[in-house]
């Protein structure tokens, strides 16, 4: 177990910069998730921690030791990839054993570690099977088992669940959380899926264009996003944004007053689940339902407002509101986020950012 500390990490591929001055502390035992859109530098950052990429400048320390220039095998980390990368001709047991065998671990120790990993991952019935005779979820558990037997200071996961179907992904998410509790290990997990980030993380690191956009606990990012980017990325369906004009500290949209907003506010954001549904003529805004998407417990109304603006509003699953209905929307000031022209958050829920 160990903390991971990054200080001023820059990474160039030739002339193009993939990581910009990344500084970050992942605490001992923490489950930290790097999240962001494809190409934002998540894998580059994770691979830099693993030692699979050389960083251009800055330092990476694991457990207080500067590992910036050390080979991957000397960093005491274990990485699990999206592609399970199992040896097809080896059994589950041999796959888990392989790394320890080549590193001359004593046979008794190897046996003990395999037994322990198989127990934690519920792989005991499958130890003598080959990967071809396992399900996708079981293969991913073997890949994780290979990491566990190394007893690393830090586990690194790069989109490990992306190849699994939706149901299995949810199940593996729960299993990984249980594994984290059982091992109390430091884990860094990369995903482009904000739902995985929200559900699994102690700490989320949102990356955008190779830069850290914000670091925080899931509900911190949900309630107090530091930027329009984070506000739009965290939460599903995504936050709605309304272009507003402000005068004398009051914001308005298409002539309708929406309450106080800080100087410089050009957009207000509100989440679909924070909008109150009212009869037409009540609330702050009037809208027309364009489309209803029913999920069961919830329904989402896609509504039209003046000026080509659209919003998504959460409703009860059995709502009868549908295409063409006129409705009122109640935007409580306590639920509004105010954004400046450069994308910075000026206030969240009425409080200055
Ligand atoms: N080996 C490489 N050579 C050149 N550019 C790379 C290499 N690996 C990644 N990149 C670039 O670095 C950026 C970040 O990539 P990556 O870390 O893989 O993003 P993510 O994992 O968030 O999708 C991208 O613009 C990508 O094209
Ligand atoms: Mg990646």
Q: What is the CATH number of the domain that holds 15?
A: 3.40.50.300
Q: Tell me 123's DSSP state.
A: -
Neighbours of 166 (CB within 10 A): 8
Cβ 300 vs Cβ 290: under 8 Å:
no
Q: Are residues 153 and 261 in the same domain?
A: no
CA distance 105 to 275: 59
State which ligand 1 atom lies nearest to the alpha carbon of 207.
22
Q: Are residues 181 and 248 in the same domain?
A: no
**pLDDT value at 162 more than 90:** no
Going from the Cα of 18 to the center of ligand 1, the distance in angstroms, rounded, reads: 6
State which ligand 1 atom lies nearest to the alpha carbon of 13.
4
**pLDDT value at 58 more than 70:** yes
Q: How confident is the model at residue 144 (pLDDT cuts 50, 70, 90)?
A: very high
Q: Are residues 222 and 268 in the same domain?
A: no
Average pLDDT, whole number, for the chain? 95
Section 29-35 average pLDDT:
98
Ligand nearest to the CA of 81: 2
CA-closest residue to ligand 1 atom 11? 18
CA distance 259 to 336: 10
- Ligand 1 within 6 A of CB of 19: no
Query: Which of 233, 149, 213 minimizes the C-alpha distance to 185?
Result: 149
Number of structural domains (the chain) is 2
Axis crossing angle, helix 166-183 with helix 107-120, rounded to the nearest 10: 130
Cβ 305 vs Cβ 283: under 8 Å:
no
Going from the Cα of 138 to the center of ligand 1, the distance in angstroms, rounded, reads: 29
Provide the H-helix boundaries in 136-193: 136-148, 166-183
CA distance 20 to 73: 26
Give the position of tokens 């929200």.
198
Section 178-190 average pLDDT:
93
Provide the H-helix boundaries in 201-275: 218-223, 228-233
Query: Which of 284, 273, 276, 180 minimizes the C-alpha distance to 234?
Result: 273
CA distance 202 to 188: 10
pLDDT for the residue numbered 166 = 87
Q: What are the angstrom distances between the C-alpha of 133 and each of 80, 88, 126, 137, 167? A: 20, 10, 9, 12, 20
333 bridge partner residues:
none
Residue in 10, 15, 44 to alter for ligand 1 test, most ligand atoms within 8 A of Cβ: 44
Tell me the pLDDT tens digit for each residue of 236-291: 999 999 999 999 999 999 999 999 999 999 999 999 999 999 999 999 999 999 99
- Ligand 1 within 6 A of CB of 35: no
**pLDDT value at 352 more than 80:** no
Section 166-191 average pLDDT:
91
Handedness of CA 101, 104, 106, 110 (dihedral sign): negative
Going from the Cα of 232 to the center of ligand 2, the distance in angstroms, rounded, reads: 20
Tell me the pLDDT tens digit for each residue of 60-101: 999 999 999 999 999 999 999 888 889 999 999 999 999 999
CA-closest residue to ligand 1 atom 14? 41
Give the position of tokens 């190409």.
39
**pLDDT value at 317 more than 80:** yes
Range of the domain at 78: 4-230
Q: Are residues 46 and 81 in the same domain?
A: yes
- Ligand 1 within 6 A of CB of 43: yes
Cβ 240 vs Cβ 272: under 8 Å:
yes
CA-closest residue to ligand 1 atom 21? 43
**pLDDT value at 57 more than 90:** yes
Give the domain-ending residue among 166, 199, 230. Answer: 230
Going from the Cα of 42 to the center of ligand 2, the distance in angstroms, rounded, reads: 6
Q: Are residues 210 and 253 in the same domain?
A: no
Q: Tell me 133's DSSP state.
A: G
State which ligand 1 atom lies nearest to the alpha carbon of 37.
22
**pLDDT value at 137 more than 90:** no
pLDDT for the residue numbered 1 = 60
CA-closest residue to ligand 1 atom 18? 43
68 bridge partner residues:
none
- Ligand 1 within 6 A of CB of 39: yes
Handedness of CA 168, 174, 178, 184 (dihedral sign): positive
pLDDT for the residue numbered 199 = 94
pLDDT for the residue numbered 349 = 87
Going from the Cα of 252 to the center of ligand 2, the distance in angstroms, rounded, reads: 41
Q: Are residues 225 and 244 in the same domain?
A: no
> Three-class SS of residue 135?
coil
Q: What are the angstrom distances between the C-alpha of 29 and each of 203, 214, 239, 286? A: 11, 20, 32, 49
Q: Are residues 122 and 88 in the same domain?
A: yes
Q: Are residues 286 and 343 in the same domain?
A: yes
Neighbours of 217 (CB within 10 A): 12
Going from the Cα of 15 to the center of ligand 1, the distance in angstroms, rounded, reads: 13
CA distance 33 to 318: 35
Q: Are residues 285 and 186 in the same domain?
A: no
- Ligand 1 within 6 A of CB of 13: yes
CA distance 80 to 141: 10
- H helices, E strands: number in the chain: 8, 23
Q: Are residues 260 and 217 in the same domain?
A: no
Q: Are residues 176 and 276 in the same domain?
A: no
**pLDDT value at 152 more than 90:** yes
pLDDT for the residue numbered 175 = 87
CA distance 88 to 129: 10
């Amino acid at each position: 177990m160990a903390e991971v500390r990054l200080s001023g990490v820059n990474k160039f591929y030739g002339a193009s910069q993939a990581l910009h001055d990344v500084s970050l502390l992942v605490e001992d035992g923490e489950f930290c998730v790097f999240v962001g859109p494809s190409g934002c530098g998540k894998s580059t950052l994770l691979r830099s921690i693993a030692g699979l990429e050389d960083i251009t400048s800055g330092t990476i320390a694991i457990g207080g030791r500067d590992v910036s220039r050390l080979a991957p095998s000397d960093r005491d980390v274990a990485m699990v990839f999206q592609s399970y990368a199992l040896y097809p001709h080896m059994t589950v047991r041999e796959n888990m054993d392989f790394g320890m065998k080549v590193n001359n671990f004593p046979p008794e120790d190897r046996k003990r570690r395999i037994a322990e990993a198989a127990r934690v991952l519920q792989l005991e019935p499958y130890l003598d099977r080959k990967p071809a005779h396992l399900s996708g979820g079981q293969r991913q558990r073997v890949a994780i088992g290979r990491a566990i037997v190394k007893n690393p200071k830090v586990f690194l996961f790069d989109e490990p669940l992306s190849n699994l179907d939706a149901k299995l992904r949810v199940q593996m998410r729960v299993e990984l959380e249980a594994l984290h509790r059982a091992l109390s290990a430091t884990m860094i997990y990369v995903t482009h899926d904000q739902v995985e980030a929200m559900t699994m993380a102690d700490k989320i690191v949102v990356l955008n264009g190779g830069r850290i956009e914000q670091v925080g606990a899931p509900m911190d990012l949900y309630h107090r996003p530091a930027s329009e980017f984070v506000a739009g990325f965290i939460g599903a369906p995504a936050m709605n944004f309304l272009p507003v004009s402000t005068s004398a500290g009051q914001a308005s949209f298409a002539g309708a007053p929406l309450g106080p907003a800080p100087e410089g506010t050009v957009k207000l954001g509100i989440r679909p689940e924070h909008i109150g549904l009212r009869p037409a003529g009540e609330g702050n805004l009037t809208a027309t339902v364009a489309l209803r998407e029913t999920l069961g417990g919830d329904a989402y109304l896609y509504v039209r407002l003046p000026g080509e603006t659209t919003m998504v509003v959460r409703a009860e699953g059995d709502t009868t509101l549908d295409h063409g209905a006129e409705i009122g929307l109640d935007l409580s000031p306590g639920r509004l986020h105010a954004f400046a022209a450069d994308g910075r958050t000026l206030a969240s829920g009425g409080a200055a950012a």
